[in-house]
Each structure stands twice: as structure tokens, then as C-alpha cells.
Amino acid sequence: MLLMPNILVTGGAGYIGSHTVYQLQRQGFTVSVIDDLSKGHSASVPADALHVCSLFDHPQLVALMRSGRIDAVIHFAAFISVGESGKEPEKYFHNNTAGSMSLFAAMAEAGVRKLVFSSTAAVYGNPTQVPIPETAAIQAVNPYGESKVMVEKVLDWLDTARGVRSVRLRYFNACGANNDAGLGERHDPETHLIPLILRAVRTGRPVTLFGDDYPTPDGTCIRDYIHVDDLASAHIAAVNYLLGGGATAAFNAGTGRGYSVREVINAVERVTGKEVPHTIGPRREGDPAQLVADSSKLRQTLDWQPRHSTLEEIVESAWVFENRNFA
Ligand code: UDP
């Protein structure tokens, strides 16, 4: 019988991590999860796969990698709030950057040399071209993005120094839910557009649109919304690529199609059959007018394509999740 690879997933109890763990297990990978549960939910991961462990617990990380005969690590564990990162940069550089260094030191000790890393479109800052190719300038404009840039740079040196092959997936806007798996977006506090719009529909309390005077056709910001299950499948494609001997690379993980905030509102009104109560507020600091991926490299190199990322499917799945879990 063919032995399936053993994968260690950090932050596997979080939003994107839990969807990826679900798909990995369905495809027969042996999965160990570490999560400190500071943000993640233990119920989002099968109990027998979950190890409650910090990225800074070097002995436990090494022991887990050795006993699990880990072939590759998928590293999600990180804080994700851009706004908070501007107010508390130390927290982001400690958890996201120093935490990654601790993980990499444990990988070195255990001899693990394949890594898929959760990076972000925030590494591009305010892009000068849209759609954004991976070759665009790296110029983060907030500590969250910079905390990821620093890790990407370290990964280049680990490749040179020790042959660590890594894939950095630069996420655009993850959204949607997998209701068969009982998984979806549960951030606390929630700051993301789609769950906030759905909450406004459900509760009648208006959502605030952050600015309608951007240089876009309807004045609201344009983002590239990618269903979390499509993002999860990109991680699996990345793991397979690395296990097959693929070289270190960065890929934009988006659909290549952008939607404005108003277009998202219209989609929610179509799906729910209800009006979205909303008000217009000032711009949110640090929001570029448009972030849309050029995802051709991911499609071509990893033979990946989005299968669930129409705005309708995203909103429908998130609406079912909202009503099942928050009503
Ligand atoms: N947005 C908004 N109101 C909100 C939350 C978000 O208008 O309450 C806008 C935000 O300005 C951005 C888009 O929705 O243009 C997506 O924001 P989100 O926070 O979901 O993701 P981000 O783009 O920051 O990763």
C-alpha cells in the first residue's frame, strides 16, 4: 500500500487551517495539528489530531515532528488583523515573525525541509498595477504585512542554507464556509466584510461601508474574494508540488476577478432576498482601492483552479453558516 505523507498543520483550528485539515484528511493524508487556541476553535478539528501547543514550545514541536514522521509543514498560525497590527506591532512581530522562527528552528532539528506558508496580499502594500503579479514590488504598509514579508525573506535564506523548500501562498480575501464540514468564519471580533454584511441582514443593525469615494467605478473598494475551500485546495496542491520536488516559490492565491463592496452587497441581497441595512462611513486607514490577484502562476504551476468562488456560492455558503451558528 502506498504510504500517504504526514503533514503538520500549525493553526489548524483557525478559519483557513481547519478547512485545509478537513480536505487533507479526506484525501488520506495523516494530519497532526498544533494550535494554541488563542484564536482557533478546538471543535473545528478532530480531537485525535489536535495538539494544544504554542509555536514557541520548541521541545514539543520537535517531539511531534519526530514521532509523527512529518514530511511537510503547513504553517497558518498567525494573527491577522491589519488594524490591530498598527496599534500593537510588537504583538505581530512576536507571534507571526518570531513564532515562525521558533517553528523553523524545530523543523531544522527534526530534519523537516518542506513548508507551505500563509502569506498575504498585504506584502504588496498599495500596488501600482492591478491585477498584481508575484513580481510586483514587495512594500508592506502595515506591521501585519511586514511580519509576513520578514518570514518570506527568512525562507529564502533557509532555502540557500539548508535546502528548505517553501511555497508562500499570498492570500487575497478568504471567505465562505463549508457547511458539510460545519466549518466557517468565526473571528472574534469579526472584521471581515461578508460576515458583517450577513450579520447586518440578520440583525437589522447596519454595516458601515468604509468609503465610497475611491477611484473605482462605484466608489467602493475592489477585492478578490476567494472561497476558503479553494484556498484550502491550493495548500494541498502546494504540498504535493513540494513533495514532488518543486522549488521554492511564491504564488498569489486569488481568483483574478475583483468585486466592489457594493457588488458584494448586491450579491447578498440577491441570495438572501433581503435588503442590506448599511451606512457610508469614512475610509479605513490602509485600505488600497483595488487588490486583485494575477493568479495565472498558481493555475499553471500547481494545476489549480477555483471551483467554489463565484460570489453567489461564497455568499450562499456563508449565509447558511451564519444562520446555523449565530442566529
Ligand atoms: N469593509 C467595509 N466595511 C466593513 C468591513 C470591510 O466596507 O465593516 C470593506 C473594506 O474597506 C475592504 C473590503 O470591505 O474594502 C474587504 O475588507 P475585509 O476587512 O473583509 O478584508 P481585507 O481587504 O481588509 O483583507
Q: Domains of the chain, with CATH numbers?
A: 6-175+225-254 (3.40.50.720), 193-222+257-297+306-326 (3.90.25.10)
Please provide the size of the chain in residues.
Answer: 327
Dist. CA 107 → ligand 1 center (Å): 35
- The Cα–Cα gap between 75 and 62 comes to 15
Q: How far apart are CA 20 and CA 16, in angstroms?
A: 6
Is the pLDDT assigned to residue 160 strictly greater than 70? yes
Residue 143 has pLDDT above 90, yes or no: yes
Which triple of cell numbers denotes residue 209? 461601508
Contacting residues for 106 by C-beta, under 8 A, at least 6 apart? 58, 61, 62, 65
Q: What is the pLDDT, as a whole number, of residue 77?
A: 98
Q: What percent of the chain has pLDDT over 70?
A: 99
Q: How far is CA 179 from CA 176, 287, 313, in A?
A: 9, 30, 12
Q: What pLDDT is attached to residue 285?
A: 87
pLDDT tens-digit map of 266-308: 999 999 999 999 999 999 988 899 999 999 999 999 999 999 9
Tell me which residues are annotated as active site.
144
The CA-atom distances, in angstroms, between 178 and each of 16, 110, 196 are 11, 34, 18
Confidence category of residue 2, pLDDT binned at 50, 70, 90: low
| Residue 327 neighbours by CB distance under 10 Å | 7
**What is the value of pTM for the model shown?**
0.98
Rounded average pLDDT over 59-75 = 98
What is the residue with the minimal CA distance to atom 3 of ligand 1?
A: 209
Q: Output the residue whose Cα is nearest ligand 1's atom 18.
A: 192
Query: What are the C-alpha distances in Å from 144 to residues 51, 89, 139, 147?
Result: 26, 8, 12, 5
Whose grid coordinates read 467602493? 220
* pLDDT above 80 (res 1): no
What's the pLDDT band for 107 if we cut at 50, 70, 90? Answer: very high
The 3-state DSSP class for residue 235 equals: helix
The preferred substitution site among 148, 187, 261 for testing ligand 1, maximizing ligand atoms within 8 Å of CB, is 261
Q: What is the pLDDT of residues 123-133, one digit of tens each?
A: 999 999 999 99
CA 233, 288, 217, 318 dihedral sign is positive
* Contact present, 116 and 238 (Cβ < 8 Å): yes
Q: Which residue has the cell 522549488?
A: 247
How remote is the CA of residue 44 from the centroid of ligand 1, in Å? Answer: 25
Expressed in angstroms and rounded, the spacing between residue 223 Cα and the centre of ligand 1 is 8
Range name among 56-60, 126-130, 225-229 with the lowest pLDDT average: 126-130
φ and ψ at residue 250, rounded to 5 degrees: -115, 140
Per DSSP bridges, beta strands 290-291 and 30-35 are unpaired
Beta bridge partners of 170: 119, 252
pLDDT digits over 108-120, tens only? Answer: 999 999 999 999 9
- State the Cα–Cα distance between residues 32 and 38, nearest whole angstrom: 18
Give the count of beta carbons closer than 10 Å to the beta carbon of residue 303.
Answer: 10
Ligand 1 closest atom vs CA 221: 15
Average pLDDT over residues 238-248: 98
Distance 287 CA to ligand 1 centre (A): 8
Residue nearest to atom 12 of ligand 1 (CA): 221
pLDDT band at 3, cuts 50/70/90? Answer: confident
